């Protein structure tokens, strides 16, 4: 490809174009990575989603940016409008052009020469655009934090959880050391959380004398964490206002989640372990039946 | 907080989560690092044997259909195939995202 290009157009120009395009792509890539990192910093799941969507909007061009900004309006309630306008202007400048740039070098490189010249003509704009993209990103985050700190900080404060301490016991069992503490933090009965964990993990287990949970099978802290997160989402946070001030009541065989903050009340799914496949030794099963 | 309530989904919609149409994808640990994936709740309209055949070929694992008195026909597959099955079911429109529930760690 490169050789063809060289033969077609003057040496220095074509190579420099290719080079700048490459650098540009790398820079883009780095930015995306940065973005991801930032997302990981936020703990509450809601924020994650919204930010991600916004990010996509930044990359995908006009239609998506519109969607993204709509969401942003919802996010920021009253003062989002100004920001959005700024954002829109910025994206109109930078993004669709970028997209084209990205695709062109791959698709049409060896087809037409005039295309190359076009590129050269618009080359000086690269620096400006790159700058605005960076600027926009930091600016958007800053304004979001500055204008509604209670949304960012408030949600975070509520969802701080102590991480589960998970240790291996031998090769076949896992201990969940601060099980009792976590039940206390969540204000749920150990029995309920135990039932959920065992049903989700598809194993058996028990609570020992110093309130730690012993589960059969090998599990890592990461895995237990994800299950706990799901438990909190389903059985602890209010489904309407997402506050964790809730009470779980049992009435007529159904569990109801009563929110202390907004007073809403809704039923939650009962814990079912469902189908359990037989994984032991077949011979043992046979001897039992006889 | 109280204003946010208006934005929320229909409060009665929660009850639907317990409806029958849910497809549960579970995982079970076996000896060592081996696992087993079970798919429960695929409706009778679909031929599970054919589904298993497809799964076996495309996810390169073995699998069977087990008939259970309470849970009906359940698909069992070797290994952790939760994500594959989840994506497949949604891709062919056998179920929507809300109808598939992935359990386990």
pLDDT in tens, A28-60: 444 444 444 444 344 444 444 344 444 443 444
Alpha carbon of residue A37 to chain centroid: 10
In chain A, the N- to C-terminal Cα span, in Å, equals: 74
Predicted pLDDT at A158: 56
Query: What residues 37-66 of chain B have any CB closer than 8 A to a CB of chain A?
Result: 38, 40, 66
Q: Which residues neighbour A117 within 8 Å (Cβ) at sequence distance 6 or greater?
A: none
DSSP A72-109: HHHHHTTTHHHHHHHHHHHHHHHHHHHHHHHHHHHHST
Q: What is d(CA A221, CA A9) in angstroms, rounded to the nearest whole number? A: 58
Which of B38, B40, B105 is nearest residue A219 as measured by Cβ atoms?
A: B105
Q: What is d(CA B26, CA A202) in angstroms, rounded to the nearest whole number? A: 8
Residues in chain B within 8 Å Cβ distance of A219: 105
Nearest C-alpha neighbor of A20 from the set A135, A95, A92, A116: A116
Residue B10 touches partner A, C-beta closer than 8 Å: no
- Tokens (6 digits) for A148: 């509604």
Buried b (16+ CB within 10 A) or exposed e, A94-111: bbeebeebeebbeeebee
CA distance A223 to chain B (A): 5
Q: What is d(CA A117, CA A193) in angstroms, rounded to the nearest whole number? A: 66
Residues in chain A within 8 Å Cβ distance of B5: 240-241, 262, 264
Residue A16 touches partner B, C-beta closer than 8 Å: no
- Scan for tokens 């033969």, then name that residue: A7
Domain A166-268 in CATH 3.30.30.170? yes
- Tokens (6 digits) for A124: 């000086």
Which of B5, B15, B68 is nearest residue A240 as measured by Cβ atoms?
A: B5
pLDDT tens, position by position, A236-290: 888 887 788 888 888 887 888 888 888 888 888 888 888 888 777 777 777 877 7
How many other CB atoms are there within 10 angstroms of residue A46's CB atom? 13
Lowest mean pLDDT among A64-68, A147-151, B8-12: A64-68
Strands (E), chain A: 166-169, 173-176, 205-207, 213-216, 246-251, 254-259, 265-268
Asked if the model's pLDDT at residue A221 lies above 60, the reply is: yes
Q: What is d(CA A156, CA A153) in angstroms, rounded to the nearest whole number? A: 5
Residues in chain B within 8 Å Cβ distance of A199: 103
- Tokens (6 digits) for A104: 């062109």
Q: Please list the pLDDT of chain B residue by residue as tens digits (105 residues).
A: 455 555 554 445 444 444 567 889 999 888 878 899 999 988 888 899 999 999 999 999 999 998 888 888 899 999 999 999 999 999 988 888 888 888 887
Instruction: List domains and CATH numbers for chain B.
Output: 22-96 (3.30.780.10)
As a whole-number percent, the residues of chain A with pLDDT over 70 amount to: 51
Q: Which residue of A has its CA nearest to B77?
A: A277
Strand order in the sheet with A166-169: A166-169, A173-176, A213-216, A205-207
Predicted TM-score (pTM) of this structure: 0.56
Q: What is d(CA A179, CA A207) in angstroms, rounded to the nearest whole number? A: 9
What is residue B15's DSSP assignment?
G
């Amino acid at each position: 490809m490169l050789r063809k290009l060289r033969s077609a157009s003057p040496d220095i120009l074509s190579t420099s174009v290719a080079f700048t395009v490459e650098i540009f792509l790398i820079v883009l890539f780095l930015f995306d990575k940065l973005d991801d990192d930032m997302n990981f910093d936020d703990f509450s799941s809601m924020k994650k989603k919204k930010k991600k969507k916004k990010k996509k909007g930044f990359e995908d061009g006009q239609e998506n940016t519109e969607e993204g900004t709509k969401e942003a309006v919802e996010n920021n309630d009253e003062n989002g409008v100004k920001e959005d306008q700024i954002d829109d202007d910025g994206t109109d400048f930078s993004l669709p052009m970028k997209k084209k740039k990205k695709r062109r070098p791959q698709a049409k490189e060896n087809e037409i020469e005039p295309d190359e010249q076009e590129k050269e003509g618009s080359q000086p704009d690269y620096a400006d655009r790159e700058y605005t993209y960076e600027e926009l990103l930091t600016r958007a985050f800053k304004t979001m934090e500055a204008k509604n700190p209670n949304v960012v900080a408030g949600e975070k404060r509520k969802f701080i959880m102590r991480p589960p301490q998970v240790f291996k016991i031998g090769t076949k069992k896992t201990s969940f050391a601060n099980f009792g503490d976590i039940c206390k933090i969540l204000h749920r009965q150990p029995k309920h959380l135990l039932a959920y964990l065992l049903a989700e993990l598809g194993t058996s287990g028990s609570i020992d004398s110093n309130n730690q949970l012993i589960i059969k099978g090998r599990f890592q802290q990461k895995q237990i964490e994800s299950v706990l997160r799901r438990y909190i989402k389903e059985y602890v946070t209010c489904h309407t206002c997402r506050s964790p001030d809730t009470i779980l009541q049992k009435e007529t065989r159904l569990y109801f989640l009563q929110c202390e903050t907004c007073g809403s009340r809704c039923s939650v799914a009962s814990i079912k372990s469902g189908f359990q496949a037989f994984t032991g030794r077949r011979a043992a099963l046979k001897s039992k039946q006889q | 907080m109280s204003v946010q309530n208006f934005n929320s989904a229909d409060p009665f919609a929660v009850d639907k989560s317990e409806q029958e149409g849910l497809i549960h994808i579970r995982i079970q640990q076996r000896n060592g690092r081996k696992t087993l994936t079970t798919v429960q709740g695929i409706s009778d309209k679909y031929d599970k044997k054919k589904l298993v055949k497809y799964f076996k070929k495309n996810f390169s694992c073995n699998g069977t259909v087990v008939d259970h008195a309470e849970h009906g026909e359940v698909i069992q597959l070797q290994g952790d195939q939760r994500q594959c099955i989840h994506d497949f079911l949604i891709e062919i429109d056998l179920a929507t995202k809300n109808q598939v529930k992935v359990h386990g760690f």
